Structure 1
């Protein structure tokens, strides 16, 4: 385990160092400012560990934190997108290596690449439809995010507590492909509004359909990574609301968290992972609503 973790860290270290040095050039900070913002390193790490061990986007952690810190809605979404470009990419690389090394010949994973291609394409279409038509969310960020998290968490609890575990599914039916298209289109639109959405929805669908949990998580992570990269340009080029001082530290933390996440998944039981995911979603949703 330790050797695999070290190998993963070494493989992404050059990308990590290059991006961090670029950010330092773009956002020059004094020593006092560096000390003030360094705590965001741990926020980025925590968000990426959660995101890449459950398939949920890192915004599940970042958005409540940024709301608490008084960010505007646009700043919160833009900064969350930017941080996830670090963490979800590191997680996607790590999960894809896991597939190539350990699951390439597994029958349950034979459609891994095709699922990612289909879901990513539909997610990006949904995302850019919202951006292109300037389609506004039906309510405020805080309200939408809280209810989205709460309902999703309750749904997972209901599945874990009331449905019996069956045999692992290894084949996607025509109905599943159509469902993934619809879920990804809708999830991409939600991601444009909340910076999270498509990963959670895809992961939950695959888990409910009794596919391997690691397959569901890895697909969700890779699709989320592609989606946030497709969406971050809206915030880099058009609204330009990324909080760069936060990104300077949360981004590198997210890289480390994205690499550590797979190790956590492999050491948690399937039931514990589902309950952990559901508990956090219900908690942040309930706190936001109340």
Structure 2
């Protein structure tokens, strides 16, 4: 009965969100032109969020190269990607958390979720804020060559994902974090937060790959990475609202809505497909995008 009530409440929340979005859209002064020019970003948001929330990687892996092809300036690319991920990663995080409570509440392979989040979330947010406010000058230099750094990071990430695929067949699954794991996750989350602030991707990917390499449950690793990424982008979005003011709100109106849809769908994608095939496909996508981002073709 309690589960039925919870499902009804979830449907009400979804209906409320859809209604609020439609009201905001309809009351835009240039409603018709917005619909014609930006409605396609709805599907970009869906695709990006499905990739992000079904692999543990941030949606920036999809959004950054796409916006770069549109000719947006680098700070707008990062700021807009952050804002879209606030929508999509939040939807994915809530979905994964509910999946954990419903399906894995007594699963020993998922017992470390809370501890993993307590370890990584503060460090990641700290990394994001340090990069935005204390390393702003360095961040500007990174931003000037965003496509190059993004390409190199993507290639490195793809290599690590390829390396993690054979390890997914191991019979022994880790269920507890060792002292070494806590130390490594603390460092990775902080460094990943800095990278995320500059490139709009980083912390979720790095933490997910580390957990897989260490032998934790693949779905558990994805769920933790998604929830961590959601906290991280929310920790950094204030900077782009108040300081950079570079968010492209017309894109957010559609891509953000699509990202919410994609975030809710992603869990079902993971549970339907083989995790190994999903990782293989995603690693190949990242590799291609990374190579395409390098100035090799100019």
**Which TM-score tier does this pair reach, normalised by the shorter chain?**
over 0.9
Partner residue of 2:203?
198
- 1:24 and 1:226 mapped to 2: Cα distance? 30
Partner residue of 1:105?
106
Partner residue of 1:136?
138
Verify: 1:186 aligned to 2:188, yes or no: no
Q: Displacement, 1:167?
A: 1.4
Verify: 1:37 aligned to 2:38, yes or no: yes
Q: Displacement, 1:28?
A: 3.6
Q: 1:102 to 1:164 in 2, by over 3 A?
A: closer
Tell me, yes or no, if the aligned pair for 1:20 and 1:248 is still in contact at 8 Å: no
Partner residue of 1:73?
74
Q: 2:291 aligns with which of 278, 286, 289?
A: 286
Between 12-21 and 76-85, the greater mean CA deviation after superposition: 12-21
Q: Displacement, 1:13?
A: 3.4
SS at the partner of 1:228?
helix
- 1:35 and 1:258 mapped to 2: Cα distance? 24
Tell me, yes or no, if the aligned pair for 2:168 and 2:215 is still in contact at 8 Å: no
- 2:19 and 2:188 mapped to 1: Cα distance? 36
Q: 1:38 to 1:144 in 2, by over 3 A?
A: same
Q: Deviations over 1:137-174 (max 9, x none)?
A: 36411111111001110122133358963411112111
Between 167-176 and 38-47, the greater mean CA deviation after superposition: 167-176
- 1:280 and 1:257 mapped to 2: Cα distance? 18
Q: 1:287 to 1:60 in 2, by over 3 A?
A: same
Q: 1:264 aligns with which of 269, 276, 279?
A: 269
- 1:23 and 1:72 mapped to 2: Cα distance? 26
TM-score, scaled relative to structure 1: 0.92
- 2:11 and 2:46 mapped to 1: Cα distance? 14
Verify: 1:249 aligned to 2:254, yes or no: yes
Q: Number of aligned residue pairs: give it.
A: 287
TM-score, scaled relative to structure 2: 0.90
- 1:111 and 1:162 mapped to 2: Cα distance? 19
Partner residue of 1:170?
175
Partner residue of 2:163?
158
Q: Which runs of 5+ in 1 are unaligned?
A: none
Partner residue of 2:20?
18
Q: Displacement, 1:231?
A: 0.5
* Alignment RMSD: 2.2
Between 157-166 and 66-75, the greater mean CA deviation after superposition: 157-166
Q: Displacement, 1:111?
A: 1.7
Tell me, yes or no, if the aligned pair for 1:16 and 1:255 is still in contact at 8 Å: no
Tell me, yes or no, if the aligned pair for 2:25 and 2:31 is still in contact at 8 Å: no
Tell me, yes or no, if the aligned pair for 2:50 and 2:262 is still in contact at 8 Å: yes
Q: 1:232 to 1:214 in 2, by over 3 A?
A: same
Matches of residues 46-57 of structure 1 in structure 2 within 5 Å?
46-57=47-58
Matches of residues 91-130 of structure 1 in structure 2 within 5 Å?
91-130=92-131
